[in-house]
Amino acid sequence: MLSSKNHLVIITIILICGILFFLGLNKRGLWVPDETRYLAVSKEILDSGDWITLRLNGAIYREKPPVFFWLISISALLFGRFSEFSARLPSAIAGLGGILITYLFAQKLFNKKVAFLSSLILVSSLAYFAASRWVILDPVLTFFAIAAIYLFYLGLTEQKKRTTTYILAFISMALGTLTKGPVGFILPLLVIIIYAYSVKNLRSVFTRGFFWGFILFLLIILSWLLPACLQGGEGYTRQLLLKQIFGRYFKAFSHKEPLYFYFVRFPVEFLPWTFFLPSATLYLIKNKINESKVKFIFIWFASIFIFFTFSASKNDLYILPAYPAAAMAVAYYWENRLSQRPRFFVYIVSFVVILNTILTCGILPTFDKYKSTKYFSQDIVRHVKSGEQLTTFQISPTHWLYYCDRRQIEEIDDYSKLNEYLKSEGRVFCIIEDNKYEEFKHSYKTDTYMLTNAPFSLKIKLRKNFKVELKPKKVFVLVSNRFE
pLDDT single digits (tens) 419-477? 999 988 889 999 999 999 999 988 888 888 888 888 887 666 555 555 555 666 788 99
Helix (H) or strand (E) holding 437: helix 434-443
The alpha carbon dihedral of 93, 75, 79, 403 has a sign of positive
**At residue 351, what are phi and psi to the nearest 5 degrees?**
-60, -45
DSSP for 304-341, written as a single string: HHHHHHT-SB--GGGGGGGHHHHHHHHHHHHHHHSTT-
What predicted TM-score, i.e. pTM, was given to this entire model?
Answer: 0.91
- Provide the percentage of residues in the chain whose pLDDT is more than 70: 92
pLDDT tens-place string over residues 197-220: 999 999 989 999 999 999 999 999
Q: How far is CA 335 from CA 187, 285, 286, 437, in A?
A: 28, 16, 16, 62
Neighbours of 264 (CB within 10 A): 11
Lowest mean pLDDT among 108-122, 161-175, 242-256, 298-312: 242-256
* pLDDT tier, 68 (very low <50, low <70, confident <90, very high otherwise): very high
* pLDDT tier, 248 (very low <50, low <70, confident <90, very high otherwise): low
* pLDDT tier, 62 (very low <50, low <70, confident <90, very high otherwise): confident
Phi/psi zone of residue 343: left (φ > 0), alpha (ψ -120 to 50 degrees), beta?
Answer: alpha
| Residue of 51 and 249 predicted with greater confidence | 51
Residues of the chain with CATH 3.40.190: 373-480
- Provide the percentage of residues in the chain whose pLDDT is more than 90: 60
pLDDT in the model for residue 23 = 87
DSSP structural state of residue 64:
S
pLDDT in the model for residue 95 = 96
Span 47-57, average pLDDT: 92
pLDDT in the model for residue 470 = 62
Lowest mean pLDDT among 85-94, 363-372, 381-390: 363-372
Closest among 475, 470, 444 to 459, alpha carbons compared: 470
Domain spanning 373-480: CATH 3.40.190: yes
- Residue 95 and residue 139 in contact, taking contact as beta carbons nearer than 8 Å: yes
pLDDT in the model for residue 1 = 47
User: Environment class of residue 11 by beta-carbon count within 10 Å: exposed (0-12), middle (13-18) or buried (19+)?
Assistant: exposed
Cα-Cα-Cα-Cα torsion 349, 350, 352, 358, nearest 10 degrees, comes to 170
Span 322-333, average pLDDT: 95
Question: What letter represents residue 136's amino acid?
Answer: I
- Residue 317 and residue 95 in contact, taking contact as beta carbons nearer than 8 Å: no
pLDDT in the model for residue 246 = 58
pLDDT tens-place string over residues 165-195: 999 999 999 999 999 988 999 999 999 999 9
User: Environment class of residue 461 by beta-carbon count within 10 Å: exposed (0-12), middle (13-18) or buried (19+)?
Assistant: exposed
pLDDT in the model for residue 383 = 92
Give the contacts of 304 (CB within 8 A, at least 6 positions apart): 187, 190, 191, 319, 321, 322, 325
Length of the chain: 484
pLDDT tens-place string over residues 337-382: 777 777 888 888 888 888 888 888 788 888 888 888 999 999 999 9
